């Protein structure tokens, strides 16, 4: 691609693409292609001027070479662009705003007064109809107040005031709709499936792990407990309980058996099933997510509900005050000044925009929030509970050592463990599979059907012998497997977590898992205390020794060891009974009950599918600093909402008082009221922490 450097500073380039014009799609290709370059912190492409601003920390030559290699037709570039980028949506509403402003200027400057009055009357019909519709439903809402204000202005012959009111209402509607759709669009794009590989069932009954992109209509895939269904299809074999909350809103898992239809993005909570694919990758998932977000009651925070109810509740008072003022003063102008000013417009516009803008800003920090009320819950929370594995520790533990018994071969034991564990992805299971891959160990499917016991382990059969793998509690206590060498068993390395493999009722190997702490864990815990959490608690299924060591290193206030999934949920219920607000962070299938129980459940993006599905908030796995930013953004949102309340009520009350006193005429009151509503709405759209902070966090 031929480009010209227009301006350059250290770590920043402004370039001009040598094109006569640039389409929206070409701008997306340029942006996503350049963003894919390692070391590029941010890219902003301006399709109208064919310019791009690139900020980077990599060598300048790498950026220049990337620009030279950029192609709008090459698959390596076009494949990087998602189906929905938001650029087209932004252009649509930019044009709507521009069109509204230009029409208003032409209306005021060019159109003769008589024609202007006729146009205003025609436009007013829409608002009057809305008001009458509310009255017919027996409700006094904002639409009634708008209709009365516009009608009275026109009856008094004040067409300019009526026109100004309608213009600013239209601008407010456009901004509200734009912000809402933009936030929903951003949120929907971040809620991708995250499924890269699936188990494809061949005609001979064997299973092969393949990329999801290679699956076609008519293929059969196998999905087991804790995994996300990757594609739409019909169940042809097996039984499963499927969580369909993301698609249908059902809170209880639905039983699916042969002949039932299942949807991409839903999660198998229990059981397994074989699915005949009816829709290949894509299949309308984005559109269904958008519909789910728009229809979900979770989008409404308590602050939004309060603002909406307060706005509607103030309408009768405004109408009553208008009538009372007229009865006392006998002055129509002073009475009408109250109609020109109401609290409702600003309250209904500013609060939802504030919440949706905060959700959008969260996405730039790698945080996906499923509803405004969860930001409110985070702001109010005083207790934060961590699951250890995959949250305080890295999501990819490593195999440190393999101890075998009875002269068994170390690689063979690892091969068998990987063969079983790969069916149920979890951080420890992934570590076993990765170690086998690193050693070049191929593991054929020699076992029979595998059974997953949540938070315990896996049971199967190999060559006629029962094989189990899992925790000490599951293998030694529940399954009663024998230990062939007590001396070795008693001296297992204490610094590691242990995964026990038993064959035929006898322990065959112990896989030592090293699960290193995240390098930022201790600092994040300290900063969580600083930003307002009174209690930071860690819960884990690990033994007391391991839990205590980790707790001391990261500095949590309290820890619980050897807990089961139901124990975590019960702890949160107890905290609620004590009047505490609790948020929970986890990444595994066993964290799902606690994530549901918490005021806000937070999942790690690389965690189990069911955890991400049930969670109210998902954060990037890159680091835990996103939790600190989440708390700051939540607190910032609540401060903004409270500021909006004070400003709207204070400013508009002042306008009403000045109008009743006869100091401000109705037209001026209407102008100041609508201008302040627009200003507060625009302010509510701005970032809580600033784009520079977000970009810096990304880098």
Task: List active site positions.
Answer: 387
User: What's the token pair of residue 230?
Assistant: 């990757």
57 contacts: CB under 8 Å, gap ≥ 6: 11, 39, 41, 699
| Rounded CA separation 276/284 (Å) | 17
| Rounded CA separation 627/549 (Å) | 23
Q: Report which secondary-structure segment, H or E, holds 223.
A: strand 220-224
Query: Which residues, in sequence order, are bridge partners of residue 469?
Result: 458, 501
The burial of 19, by beta-carbon neighbours within 10 Å (0-12 exposed, 13-18 middle, 19 or more buried), is given as middle
Q: Report which secondary-structure segment, H or E, holds 651.
A: helix 625-660
Residue 541 contacts residue 562 (beta carbons within 8 Å): yes
Q: Are strands 451-453 and 233-243 parallel, antiparallel or unpaired?
A: unpaired
Residue 594 contacts residue 372 (beta carbons within 8 Å): no
Among the residues of 36-112, which ranges form H helices?
Answer: 60-69, 75-78, 87-109
Burial 386-422 (b: 16+ CB within 10 A, else e): bbbbbbbbbbebbbbebbbbeebeeeebbbbbbbbbb
| Rounded CA separation 16/6 (Å) | 7
Nearest of 264, 268, 262 to residue 224 by alpha carbon: 268
Hey, CA dihedral for 350, 247, 251, 267, is it positive or negative? negative
Q: Report which secondary-structure segment, H or E, holds 449.
A: none
Query: Which residues, in sequence order, are bridge partners of residue 17?
Result: 3
Q: Are strands 617-619 and 600-604 parallel, antiparallel or unpaired?
A: parallel
| Rounded CA separation 577/335 (Å) | 51
Q: Report which secondary-structure segment, H or E, holds 276.
A: strand 267-277
| Rounded CA separation 360/618 (Å) | 13
CB-facing half-sphere around the CA of 327: CA atoms within 13 A: 6
Q: What angle do CA 18, 20, 25 make, to 5 degrees?
A: 90
Could you tell me how far CA 562 lies from the centroid of its own chain? 31
Query: Which residues, in sequence order, are bridge partners of residue 254?
Result: 242
């Amino acid at each position: 691609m031929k480009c010209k450097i227009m301006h350059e500073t250290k770590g920043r380039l402004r370039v001009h693409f040598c094109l006569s014009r640039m389409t929206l799609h070409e701008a997306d290709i340029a942006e996503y292609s350049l963003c894919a370059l390692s070391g590029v912190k941010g890219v902003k492409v301006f399709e109208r001027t064919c310019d791009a601003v690139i900020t980077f920390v990599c060598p300048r030559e790498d950026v220049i070479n990337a620009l030279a290699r950029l192609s709008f037709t090459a698959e390596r570039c076009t494949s990087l662009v998602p189906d929905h980028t938001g650029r087209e949506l932004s252009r649509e509403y930019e044009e709507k705003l521009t069109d509204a402003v230009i029409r208003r200027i032409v209306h005021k400057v060019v159109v003769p007064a008589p024609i202007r009055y006729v146009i205003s009357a025609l436009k007013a019909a829409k608002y009057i109809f809305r008001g009458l519709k509310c009255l017919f439903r027996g409700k006094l809402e904002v639409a009634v107040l708008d209709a009365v204000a516009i009608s009275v202005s026109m009856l008094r012959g004040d067409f300019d005031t009526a026109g100004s009111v309608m213009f600013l209402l239209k601008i407010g509607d456009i901004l509200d709709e734009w912000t809402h759709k933009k936030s929903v669009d951003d949120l929907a794009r971040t809620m991708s499936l995250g499924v890269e590989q699936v188990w494809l069932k061949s005609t001979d009954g064997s299973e092969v792990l393949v990329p999801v992109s290679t699956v076609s209509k008519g293929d059969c895939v196998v999905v087991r407990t804790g995994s996300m269904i990757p594609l739409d299809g019909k169940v042809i074999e097996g039984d499963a309980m499927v969580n369909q909350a993301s698609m249908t809103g059902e809170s209880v898992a639905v039983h699916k058996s042969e002949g039932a239809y299942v949807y991409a993005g839903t999660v198998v909570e229990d059981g397994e099933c074989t699915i005949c694919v009816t829709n290949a990758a894509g299949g309308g998932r984005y559109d269904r997510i958008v519909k789910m977000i728009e229809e979900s009651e979770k989008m409404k925070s308590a602050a939004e509900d309060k603002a909406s109810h307060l706005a509607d509740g103030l309408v009768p008072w405004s109408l009553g005050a208008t009538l009372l003022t007229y009865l006392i003063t006998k002055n129509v102008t002073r009475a009408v000044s109250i109609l020109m000013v109401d609290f409702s417009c600003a309250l209904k516009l500013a609060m939802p925009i504030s919440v949706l803008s905060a959700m959008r800003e969260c996405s730039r920090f790698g945080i996906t929030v499923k509803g405004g009320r969860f930001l409110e819950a985070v702001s109010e929370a005083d207790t934060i509970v961590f699951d250890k594995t995959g949250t305080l520790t890295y999501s990819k533990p490593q195999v440190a050592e393999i101890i075998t018994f009875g002269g068994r071969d170390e690689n063979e034991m690892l091969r068998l463990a990987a063969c079983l564990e790969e069916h149920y992805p979890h951080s420890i299971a992934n570590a076993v599979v990765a170690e086998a891959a690193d050693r070049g160990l191929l593991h054929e499917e020699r076992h029979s059907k595998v059974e997953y016991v949540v938070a315990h382990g896996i049971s199967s059969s190999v060559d006629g012998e029962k094989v189990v793998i899992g925790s000490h509690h599951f293998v030694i206590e529940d399954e009663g497997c024998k230990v062939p060498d007590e001396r070795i068993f008693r001296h297992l390395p204490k610094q590691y977590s242990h995964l026990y493999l038993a064959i035929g009722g006898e322990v065959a190997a112990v896989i030592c898992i090293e699960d290193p702490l995240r390098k930022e864990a201790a600092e994040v815990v300290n900063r969580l205390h600083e930003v307002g959490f009174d209690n930071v608690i860690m819960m884990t299924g690990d033994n007391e020794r391991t839990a205590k060591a980790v707790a001391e290193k990261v500095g949590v206030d309290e820890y619980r060891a050897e807990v089961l999934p139901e124990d975590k949920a019960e702890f949160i219920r107890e905290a609620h009974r004590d009047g505490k607000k609790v948020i929970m962070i986890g990444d595994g299938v066993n964290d799902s009950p606690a994530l549901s129980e918490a005021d806000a459940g937070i999942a790690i993006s690389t965690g189990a599918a069911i955890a991400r599905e049930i969670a109210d908030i998902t954060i990037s796995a890159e680091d835990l600093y996103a939790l600190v930013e989440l708390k700051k953004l939540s607190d910032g949102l609540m401060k903004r909402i409270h500021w909006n309340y004070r400003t709207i009520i204070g400013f508009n009350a002042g306008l009403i008082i000045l109008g009743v006193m006869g100091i401000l005429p109705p037209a001026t009151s209407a102008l100041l009221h609508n201008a302040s509503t627009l200003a507060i709405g625009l302010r509510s759209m701005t970032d809580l922490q600033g784009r520079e902070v977000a970009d810096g966090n990304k880098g």
